[in-house]
Amino acid sequence: MKRVSQETKIEKPRELVVATRNLKKLGEIKEILKGLKLKIFSLEDFPHAPYINEDGKTFMENAAKKAVKIARWTQKLSLGEDSGLCIDALLGAPGVYSSRFSGRNKDDLKNNQKVLKLLKNIPLKKRAAHYTCAVALADKHGLISAVGGRCSGLIGLKMKGTYGFGYDPLFIIPHYGKTFAQLGPALKHKISHRYRALKKIRPIVQKYFP
């Protein structure tokens, strides 16, 4: 007869905090990570969470800063993500300033309009660009891992499509001849920069929990 241990194994709660208040970005992350049986929170669930100054020179620096700061504050496994658009003809701009490219009163429309203005008279074949995504994972002890993903394309001559957010109405995937905003979430989530980065972090999240 087998002896039953009196000790009970304490399992870590399957919880993940995504260090963002961007609900559209959160929605994409949840969709890509579905199947991991996680309870996913965002900073909207922690109204008193500390402010994070995204002053890193790279996407990876910003992602790691978000993950570590929020993990230490919540004492939970946390994911930091930073992403943006890099345009060859603009020497990599807007880069880490993608979300605030149009200034203090920025929004997606103004950011897209500024890109179109700066690229005026530049033909489509010379409008190469890529989306970059950095994802970092941390717990209360510090940084666990940081990975990246990239998706190449072209900047369109005008905005097209109604899905997505950010620069999706301008970002054309040459293979399909359509923007991310035209392709829709089902296809975007299989080829995007965010998908490629989260695909790398997914097994690390799985390994973290028993």
Catalytic residues: 82
User: Phi and psi of 156, rounded to 5°?
Assistant: -65, 165
User: What are the b/e assignments for 13-41, b being 16+ CB within 10 Å?
Assistant: eeebbbbbebeebbebbeebbeeeebebb
Residue type present at position 131? Y
Tell the burial category of 189 from Cβ atoms under 10 Å away from its Cβ (0-12, 13-18, 19+).
middle
3-class DSSP assignment, residue 37: coil
Rounded to whole angstroms, the Cα distance separating 165 from 86 reads 16
